[in-house]
Structure 1
Amino acid sequence: MAQLTTKTSKIKPDGARALSWGALLIAGLCALPMLAVLLAAVSGGTETVEHLVDTVLEGYTRTTLTLVCLVALGTFAIGVGAAWLVTMTRFPGVRIFEVALVLPLAFPAYVLAYAYTHVLDHPGIVQTSLRALTGWGPRDYWFPDIRSLGGAALMLVLVLYPYVYLLARAAFLQQSGTTFLAARALGSSPWAAFFKVSLPLARPAIAGGVLLAVMETIADFGTVAYFGVQTFATGIYTSWFSLFDRVGAAQLALCLLSFALLLAMLERLQRGDAKYHDPSRRAKVAPPLQLKGGKAALAVLLCAVPVLFGAALPIIVLFAMGLGSEQNLLSERYLGFIQNSATLASIAAIVTVCAAICIGFFQRMKTSRVSQAAAYVARLGYAVPGGVIAVGLMVPFATFDNALDAWMRSTFDISTGLLITGSIWLLIIAYMVRFLAAALGAYEGGQAMVHVNMDAASRSLGQGPIGTLRRVHLPILAPSLLTALLIVFVDVMKELPATLIMRPFNFDTLAVQAYRLASDERLEGAAVPSLVIVAMGLLPVILICRQVGRR
């Protein structure tokens, strides 16, 4: 006892105060873009608002809402249907499909847009072959236009349905089969039991997946910009760069921000405090339905279609396009693109995961309204599109740089120029704000395995908060932190609007190069950087597939 008392008396607050201030600073940086957009939009007066209302606001609203509805319906149908088939039925290849259905998550939607435009556009192989076989001229037939609102929705559905699939499948796996078997015993068919029992029980998870897909939809810029679909995301970029209307961009960003935060609130409300409890201690697993003949063939077809069109076919098309291009992946220029992308993604991943550790451990160390609010604000960044974050950071930091430069000129006759605006570090902050929620989710998922008694034991042995974090938490959380690093790394590789707006001068990435070549209709050239982005995206997807396989 005397020895224990001696050790306990040596406990020192090793950086707890610094950790708390760091967490609050991170939360403040996450809130800054939203506050800056609000202030810039309000201070711009009503003239710009009236002009937007008279010209483009109605069209942006209608197009964005239509796109959101189409993507929500498409991801729901494919994600829930595929999750139910691979979880509750058995057919040839089901074990392969339960993993393969996740693969489209590695693709940015704009990469699919480049691939399918190359195939389905007027000069593409499909229409060229059709004209050669029939002898028709360009005006003798009708063919669906891939560069349309429907085409953009299709591209987004193909890459976003895995959000719904993963959450729905997890919900179906966690359900006890007791209620499903009870419905079957009362005379319901398997499909009727699914709609009456399994689907309502999985509703919160499915709704969460659909809302994630919707938030990614309103944040998308590359796909809609390439297809010429006028949404709020394209309007913000056009106002900022083409029209040089900062106030108009801020007011459009405020509209999009309001919609994104509304979706985030709906996601939180639909979860609420609802819980499902199975009163039976003898929970049974529902026996899977054995599909045979035509039903088995139909199940294989339904699962194969999203994998084929969301992953397999785009890879084949992009590879064929890349072989026919004049882009040299090993040239000094392309090695520079890869280095820039890898540098940005690596630094952003490390900074974001460190921020997630700071926020998450602060919330565990000091459970209070302040820590809860800091964690909530940090999660809001995922609901804010990259273009909004870019505008929200550029406005205050540009104001600061200009004010500092003016003061230095008048006082010391020295021009400081733009110290922060246009720097790589401001872009890193934007990435951190955008993807902190993903890293925080992975960190908190691993932190749940660290029992509170471990913290108490660490304190009794003389360790302070930082010592407990370094010696107890981090070794246990290593797999979760690695997952967070990979997820943020790939998200940064795919991020386009924030990179386009905020990147330093003459500092291009693979995503920017792919967008630039595609904008010039050099699709074969755009395939090369797109393939590298996809290859990088496969890393976390393979990790997710391993987790699915273990489950």
Structure 2
Amino acid sequence: MASVLIAALTLVPILALAWQAAQGSEGLWSHLSRHVLPHALGQTLILMAGVGFLTAAIGTGIAWLVTAYDFPGRRSLEWALLLPLAVPTYIIAYAYLDMLHPLGPFQSAIRAVLGFDSPRDFRLPDIRSMTGAILLLGLVLYPYVYLPVRAMFMTQAANLVEVAHTLGTPRRHILWRVALPLARPAIAVGVSLALMETLNDIGASEFLGVRSLTISVYTTWVTRSDLAGAAQIALAMLVLVVALITLERWARRKQRYSVSAQRARSMSRQPLKGTARWMAMGLCLLPVLLGFVLPASHLAIEAWERFQFAGLSARLVTEAWNTFALSALATVAVLLCGLVVAYTARLFPQRGMQAVHRMASLGYAMPGTILALGILIAAGGFDRWIGRMIKDGLGVDPGLVLIGSGLALGYAYLARFLAISIGSVEAGLSRIPRSYDQSARTLGHGIGGTLRHVHLPLSRAALAAGGLLVFVDCMKELSATLLLRPLNFETLATHLYGEAARGTYEEAAIAALAIVVVGILPVILLARVGRGIQ
């Protein structure tokens, strides 16, 4: 029953969105469909198409290089290529806007070299454009493709390559004729994850002047105070999400892959010589430099200069504590709920529990803006109802119980990141033989005792890894936090968003650097896991 209740919580925002959207007048929908949705949908589709192509090209290309060839720095680049995952999309946009500003360090250095004195004499094209958004998002999101594709390349049996050679296929054609066809499922999964993140993005799109569906939802609600219109746009986004997931599964509907029952041998790496080895190194190093090293270095320099000038403000310390406390509490709640769902699925592996499992994981497929808006509608209705009850009974107005206390924001984190917790717990439990459960029962332990004395101790590593991923994602989450945070409550992410929106980039450098530093932790974890499968 607890698992069903937890899973049902992910459906509440969708039902609330549908109910609120139905309250809008016919004239409102006609206005949105004529003046708002076409432009926002067009911008979103162009952005997703560009990011999808770029992430697929970068992620697949570098995965093949580090798997099939040997060149200087390859071992270090294998894990360094994951570093852009530590930089949220809104932070890379913030960093490059500051670096490439007409008065910023990059353009100022170019003008000094060329002998120009003023931005009127020479300036680069503005990065605030669709092209700039596609490039920056692609540089951050390509690891979503790189990770699964590299894992696929590494686990492909070496005899497939040998057979291709026997049939006369040159090594330079192995990628196109053998490796890529086998890696299509991994590419599809990675690109779909990157597109989900693109659709969820709110900070980078707004900073770079792209009016996506996510921005339209936010501005319709916050700027125009039109909740019904925002709900209708959010439902249109939800349709796009469902279409994206359906398309990804349809593309893989008839594809089945298997390897020999014997232990598969990884393909031998071909040493590169001459110019080719340095070109391969440069191609792999470029996304690391552009996606992590340059923005992180700029943030470190700006944060140090800001610290020397004004020190660490009390406001920033408060926001850091808000971020840590909120993320820690949400992580505990998400892990507990994920443990309940995953453990119930282990105890009762019937088909009905599988449906509950899928329903509980639904929130991760929804962009944070859609989820937050649905929770905002549901929590607002609950706050009004409980307020009337308490006021009629006690004569006291309790105010906004869920929204004002931050419980609504915690609910959003729970619904959004529950799938990560469930997956981590299931990964830990799957390594425990069911004979251990039977042995514990014969020793007199019930379900609770078996969980406490057997499963939890043996699953600690998986729980810790899942908790780390959830904690960092809570810290980085921007769209849900913007919509649901209590009044006068700021986190590092919302602080950065506010300063960047005002154009005061130097004020947010410390907050941005703190988020990036914490974001490196799951990257280290992923790198260790990747080394374990080599």
1:56-75 to 2 correspondences below 5 Å: 56-75=36-55
Q: Is the 8 A contact 1:180 1:194 kept in 2?
A: no
The corresponding residue for 1:14 is none
Which of 129-138 and 354-363 deviates more?
Answer: 129-138
The corresponding residue for 1:6 is none
Q: Is the 8 A contact 2:403 2:485 kept in 1?
A: no
State the TM-score, normalizing by the size of structure 1: 0.92
The corresponding residue for 1:509 is 491
Shift of residue 337, structure 1, vs aligned partner: 0.8
Q: 3-state SS of the aligned residue for 1:420?
A: helix
1:334-373 to 2 correspondences below 5 Å: 334-373=316-355
Q: 1:466 to 1:406 in 2, by over 3 A?
A: same
Q: Is the 8 A contact 1:329 1:528 kept in 2?
A: no
1:276-291 to 2 correspondences below 5 Å: 276-279=257-260, 281=262, 283-291=264-272
Shift of residue 430, structure 1, vs aligned partner: 0.3
Tell me which amino acid in the other structure corresponds to 2:404. G
Q: 3-state SS of the aligned residue for 2:127?
A: coil
The corresponding residue for 2:528 is 546
The corresponding residue for 1:101 is 81
Which of 243-252 and 442-451 deviates more?
Answer: 442-451
Tell me which amino acid in the other structure corresponds to 2:513. L
Tell me which amino acid in the other structure corresponds to 1:259. L
State the distance in 1 between where 2:32 and 2:192 align: 28
Q: Is the 8 A contact 1:264 1:380 kept in 2?
A: no
State the distance in 1 between where 2:421 and 2:255 align: 25
Tell me which amino acid in the other structure corresponds to 1:518. A
State the distance in 1 between where 2:311 and 2:58 align: 35
Aligned equivalent of 1:185, options 166, 175, 179 = 166
- Show CA shifts across 1:198-224 (max 9, x none): 111111112111100000000001101
1:119-268 to 2 correspondences below 5 Å: 119-132=99-112, 133-135=114-116, 138=119, 143-268=124-249
State the distance in 1 between where 2:422 and 2:311 align: 35
State the distance in 2 between where 1:284 and 1:184 align: 16
1:307 aligns with 2:288: yes
Shift of residue 239, structure 1, vs aligned partner: 1.1
Shift of residue 98, structure 1, vs aligned partner: 0.3
State the distance in 2 between where 1:99 and 1:67 align: 28
State the distance in 1 between where 2:438 and 2:255 align: 31
State the distance in 1 between where 2:274 and 2:213 align: 48
1:370-389 to 2 correspondences below 5 Å: 370-389=352-371
Q: Is the 8 A contact 1:184 1:190 kept in 2?
A: yes
Q: 1:187 to 1:503 in 2, by over 3 A?
A: same
Which of 95-104 and 177-186 deviates more?
Answer: 177-186
Q: Which runs of 5+ in 2 are unaligned?
A: none
- Show CA shifts across 1:55-105 (max 9, x none): 111010000001101111111111111111111110111100001001110
Tell me which amino acid in the other structure corresponds to 2:65. L
State the distance in 1 between where 2:260 and 2:445 align: 42
- Show CA shifts across 1:328-364 (max 9, x none): 5633222111100000110111111111111111111
Q: Is the 8 A contact 1:328 1:334 kept in 2?
A: no
Q: Is the 8 A contact 1:114 1:526 kept in 2?
A: no
Aligned equivalent of 1:322, options 287, 300, 303 = 303
State the TM-score, normalizing by the size of structure 2: 0.95
Q: Which runs of 5+ in 1 are unaligned?
A: 1-20
Q: Is the 8 A contact 1:176 1:286 kept in 2?
A: yes
State the distance in 1 between where 2:450 and 2:390 align: 45
Which of 400-409 and 53-62 deviates more?
Answer: 400-409
State the distance in 1 between where 2:130 and 2:311 align: 33
1:31-70 to 2 correspondences below 5 Å: 31-70=11-50
The corresponding residue for 1:10 is none
Shift of residue 435, structure 1, vs aligned partner: 1.0
State the distance in 1 between where 2:170 and 2:126 align: 41
- Show CA shifts across 1:260-311 (max 9, x none): 2222334445555854223575854322111111110110000000111111
The corresponding residue for 2:448 is 466
**Root mean square deviation, CA, Å:** 1.9
State the distance in 2 between where 1:279 and 1:369 align: 30
State the distance in 2 between where 1:205 and 1:127 align: 39
- Show CA shifts across 1:433-487 (max 9, x none): 1111122222222222112222222222222222222221111111111011110
State the distance in 1 between where 2:239 and 2:183 align: 28
The corresponding residue for 1:518 is 500
Shift of residue 415, structure 1, vs aligned partner: 2.0
State the distance in 1 between where 2:261 and 2:375 align: 53
Which of 63-72 and 393-402 deviates more?
Answer: 393-402
1:112 aligns with 2:112: no
